[in-house]
Amino acid sequence: DVKVTQSSRYLVKRTGEKVFLECVQDMDHENMFWYRQDPGLGLRLIYFSYDVKMKEKGDIPEGYSVSREKKERFSLILESASTNQTSMYLCASSPTRTENTEAFFGQGTRLTVV
Amino acid sequence: AQTVTQSQPEMSVQEAETVTLSCTYDTSESDYYLFWYKQPPSRQMILVIRQEAYKQQNATENRFSVNFQKAAKSFSLKISDSQLGDAAMYFCAYRRYNNNDMRFGAGTRLTVKP
């Protein structure tokens, strides 16, 4: 089974802190994604990466950056956490194929910024 | 950007009955994929069913089936013989052919009454 693992299930950070959310997948997938999930807004794409060291902005990249130094790991960075970044963060991965491939998700990190 | 709309924030169904969740999407593409994901309280996103836009036949997976209306850009999910374990958030998602990022709707919270 594909496994996508996020480093923390719950996280509490202070305003202004630099925050790292880590995600690791074990299926050699080329693509990795970071989504933010908020009630009434669904999942919104923050960034995605289709290869090592490659990244693309999603719909809401402001206040976030990402790092992909190895194929299996994709990190989301909040340079200076703010209270409006309190949310659920979901990591996902998928293979690069043109057929009907799904995305596989981690269990989510609920981040609270105080 | 493509948008996905789920107009029902909440739905409820009696156990053993049938319920239909709605999803519409906006795209100018002719080739794409559509998905329904389930997110139970555990927060783990699980793929329920998928549909290729070039296939006219509606996808089915056991008690889950879709009504795919390409011209109307509609992709509803029907759950038959509802079970208590079907209670969850359900997300509709869209992915363009030969493109790797997936876009989600706001979700529908399904309650199953015993």
Summarize pLDDT for B23-61 with one digit per residue, the tens: 999 999 888 999 999 999 989 999 999 999 988 899 999
**Ramachandran quadrant class, A16 (left: phi over 0; alpha: psi -120 to 50; beta: rest):** left
Q: Is B2 exposed, middle or buried (0-12, 13-18, 19+ CB in 10 A)?
A: middle
Nearest in space to A81 (alpha carbons), one of A56, A33, A113, A45: A113
Q: pLDDT tens track of chain A, all 114 residues?
A: 669 999 999 999 999 999 999 999 998 999 999 999 999 899 999 999 999 989 999 999 999 999 999 999 999 999 999 999 999 999 999 887 656 578 899 999 999 999
pLDDT at residue A12, as a whole number: 97
pLDDT at residue A1, as a whole number: 67
Do A50 and B100 make contact, defined as CB atoms within 8 angstroms?
yes
Q: Is the pLDDT of residue B109 over 80?
A: yes
Taking CA atoms, B100 is separated from A97, A102, B55, B94, in Å, by 8, 10, 20, 10
What residues in B contact A103, CB-CB < 8 Å? Answer: 93, 102
Find the residue in A nearest to B52 (Cα). A100
Comparing CB atoms, the residue among B9, B45, B105 nearest residue A105 is: B45
* Portion of chain B with pLDDT greater than 70, in percent: 98
Find the residue in A nearest to B10 (Cα). A40
pLDDT at residue B56, as a whole number: 85
What residues in A contact B91, CB-CB < 8 Å? Answer: 42-43
Do A42 and B91 make contact, defined as CB atoms within 8 angstroms?
yes
Comparing CB atoms, the residue among B45, B97, B100 nearest residue A94 is: B100
pLDDT at residue B101, as a whole number: 78
Rounded-to-integer distance, Cα B73 and Cα B62, Å: 24
Hey, what are B110's tokens? Answer: 């399904």
DSSP lists the bridge partners of residue B102 as B95
Q: Mind telling me how many Å the CA of A40 is from chain B's nearest CA?
A: 5
